[in-house]
Structure 1
């Protein structure tokens, strides 16, 4: 009887061992397949071979791609289709406290009927039923949630750079509302947030210290160039950028992006100085510009200049 029990126990252990071996084998096969897929994707993306990385500045479409009305879901989708890494959009609150995507404080510049009222005075329903028009195309003001959905549907990597339009009094309501939408859509890994207002930056930093939160500096009428010590990045007008500012950003280990609108010669000048990216009206043009300044990185993470000495080493 004892012998039969021992044999049964050995058989049971052997059966368990076989299952463990099978599970490990399947895991290894799956893991190898995943690694191969990652390497193949990297190779397809960088063009420098399986062992290399391509390092290049960010291509950011200002207010989305200029082939569609600014800040529209169409402009966001086209930014993704035309190669942008990010679509920069402007966010403010409507009368219901809903974050909507609109640059101006007043509606008049884009309202098809010329109606000129504060965005903050309109409910979400009123605003979305108000026809806007730009470049011959009618559209409706999207909510931030709709903008995020447009980016998610565009491709699996297009990010959004949110420019928070607020003063100090409205900073807390806007940052909290924006934060809720981003969390609800599980989009934090594809978003950067910036503001001119330091209170908005501080409020968002307090809510999410791990997010990419930056400073928009030197807008019209504000000649100073400075940024908070804990800024994740800086955005500034390209025509204000010089080598001293770029070196200061490098010393602070803060990426700096140049807003150039449609002046791509200005974009080239900023990238040669060492800017980390360009905001321009055309996603296709900023994508091509970023590609011109792409460089291969070695397996140890070092970046090697592939062309003339004037090209910077990206941080």
Structure 2
């Protein structure tokens, strides 16, 4: 979660205004802080403050949407936007019809209200839409990626989606093409980041859209190696695996790195102090407040950098 990839092709009037604001910030920072600072803030949130200056913040990402609603539901996505997240991270896989749907597990059993435990890719879109899911006392249905994008678009004019592609190498091509088709049809490329654990999925999506934000999810549970492709737009990894050496390597590679911390916001604070570019957490409000605490004010003649990254305060 590089430079040209961050300025996606934006077509809506609102997104054009946002792009203009980012370009103004880039020009201002080039004069004030130098090129080294620029490379570090490209995929951090940039916004004007009340006195006409700029604030650069770590990204706040709600993991599987906001935890006030069932995971990966349209309700969770809407609440992520309402509670201040920059992105809602959601999991995407294909159903039996080849339609991208938003669901984390390969099997339905953990969330199926009736306990039916079958592979997601064995069910048609119609069957999934009519299977009752339940979590945290709330019923919901498995949304399609199309519905997830609409939920983000209706939440506000800037909430993005971080899509975690759930696939092995054999299905990487089908999933990336299907996901790409939905994003393009919904004109959502300017508000999406895509990541995967599987390198073939990353390569396939990169071949389709070299200008998109396409990153690597590294060091999942049970896998001790920490590495990423040379052309990764960003890296997402568990916060409890992140250390100064990894952050320094990401800095040298000019790759933004985001820490997944679940509900451990003390861990999130530790990662941001080391120089992480954002945090994925369960509560959109909590990650938003954490990002605010590490905001960097940039006014004429002000700002600081260390090893090419902002000094979070």
Distance 1:75 1:275 in 2: 25
User: What is the aligned residue count?
Assistant: 271
Q: Which residue of 1 aligns with 2:257?
A: 256
Q: Which residue of 2 aligns with 1:49?
A: 51
Higher helix share goes to which structure? 1
Query: Is residue 2:295 matched to residue 1:294?
Result: yes
Distance 2:303 2:293 in 1: 15
Let me know the Cα RMSD of the aligned residues. Answer: 2.2
3-state SS of the aligned residue for 1:169? coil
Distance 1:87 1:314 in 2: 26
| Contact persistence 1:234–1:257 (CA under 8 A) | yes
Distance 2:189 2:68 in 1: 27
3-state SS of the aligned residue for 1:148? helix
Q: Which residue of 2 aligns with 1:11?
A: none
Distance 2:112 2:197 in 1: 25
Query: Is residue 2:57 matched to residue 1:60?
Result: no
Q: Which residue of 1 aligns with 2:208?
A: 207
Distance 1:234 1:135 in 2: 30
**Within 5 Å, which residues of 2 pair with 1:106-185?**
106-185=107-186
Residue 298 of structure 1 and its aligned partner are, at CA, apart by 3.4
Query: Is residue 2:102 matched to residue 1:101?
Result: yes
| Contact persistence 1:84–1:158 (CA under 8 A) | yes
Moved over 4 A (4+): none
Per-residue deviation, residues 264-301 of structure 1 (Å, max 9, x unmatched): 0000000000000000000000000000000112358x
Give unmatched runs, 5+ long, in structure 1: 1-33
The 3 A distance-change label for structure 1 pair 314 and 171 is farther
Residue 167 of structure 1 and its aligned partner are, at CA, apart by 0.2
Distance 1:292 1:104 in 2: 34
Residue 47 of structure 1 and its aligned partner are, at CA, apart by 2.4
Query: Is residue 2:301 matched to residue 1:304?
Result: no
Residue 314 of structure 1 and its aligned partner are, at CA, apart by 6.7
Distance 1:171 1:222 in 2: 20
Taking structure 2 as the reference length, the TM-score comes to 0.83
| Contact persistence 1:106–1:117 (CA under 8 A) | yes
Distance 2:259 2:168 in 1: 23
3-state SS of the aligned residue for 1:286? helix
Larger RCO (alpha carbons 8 Å, 6+ apart) = 2
Per-residue deviation, residues 26-76 of structure 1 (Å, max 9, x unmatched): xxxxxxxx99x979xx9xx532522x2100100000000000000000000
Q: Which residue of 2 aligns with 1:76?
A: 77
Distance 1:283 1:313 in 2: 23
Query: Is residue 2:223 matched to residue 1:226?
Result: no
Query: Which range is displaced more, 290-299 or 268-277?
Result: 290-299
3-state SS of the aligned residue for 1:168? coil
| Contact persistence 2:304–2:311 (CA under 8 A) | no
Distance 1:89 1:163 in 2: 6
Taking structure 1 as the reference length, the TM-score comes to 0.82
Per-residue deviation, residues 200-250 of structure 1 (Å, max 9, x unmatched): 000000000000000000001111000000000000000000000000000
Distance 1:238 1:130 in 2: 34
| Contact persistence 1:55–1:314 (CA under 8 A) | no
Residue 304 of structure 1 and its aligned partner are, at CA, apart by 3.4
Distance 1:56 1:186 in 2: 26
Q: Which residue of 1 aligns with 2:279?
A: 278
| Contact persistence 1:298–1:304 (CA under 8 A) | no
Residue 261 of structure 1 and its aligned partner are, at CA, apart by 0.2
Q: Which residue of 1 aligns with 2:28?
A: none
Distance 1:299 1:155 in 2: 30
